[in-house]
Amino acid sequence: MSNIEKATFAGGCFWCMVKPFEELPGIIEVISGYMGGHLPNPTYEQVKSGTSGHREVVQITFDREKFPYSGLLDLYWPQIDPTDPDGQFIDRGEQYRTAIYYHNEDQRQAAVLSKRNLDENGPFKDPVVTDILPAEVFYPAEEEHQKFHQKNPEAYKDEQTNSGRQSFIQNHWQGHEDL
């Protein structure tokens, strides 16, 4: 039986969601892409415009024996504002809403439990609105969007800072990273 699984998370702009998961023991690959829409093979422009119905996501291939799914959830939550129903930071629209796409029943149960724990014990007054949805067809994003933080370090840094993501994470997640 293989220990290799996929995990898929929507957390707003996918450029900002790759780096936190990379280079950890048991993480095999992190790919930026699209999930959840109605157009086959959507382009970045179609997704960004909100016309395809997809969300920007990262899909992580991991070895669950070396890095359990619960560890991925623990990394995911502090990257986002789970209380924002309209997008993430300066990126607005359905294509930037948060979601955990589960690939099996164990992942679904872990995601539901993790969300409930965050809602009950987290640092937020507003309810956690991150969707938990079954995984659908994953479409990898175009090559220029893969490993954006490595290819465009200054633009990545600007996106983290100017979008409000970095300050939100510092202001809301400090001391709550283990929920």
Q: List the domain boundaries for the chain.
A: 4-173
d(CA 113, CA 130): 13
User: Which residue among the candidates 7, 10, 13, 47 is catalytic per the annotation?
Assistant: 13
For residue 149, is it left (φ>0), alpha (ψ between -120 and 50) or beta? alpha
Look at residue 149 in the predicted model and tell me its pLDDT: 86
Look at residue 76 in the predicted model and tell me its pLDDT: 97
Look at residue 152 in the predicted model and tell me its pLDDT: 83
Q: What is the CATH number of domain 4-173?
A: 3.30.1060.10
16 is catalytic: no
- List of the chain residues with pLDDT < 70: 1, 175-179
Query: How would you class 43 by CB atoms within 10 Å of its CB: exposed for 0-12, middle for 13-18, buried for 19 or more?
Result: middle
In this structure, how many other beta carbons lie within 10 angstroms of the beta carbon of residue 47? 28
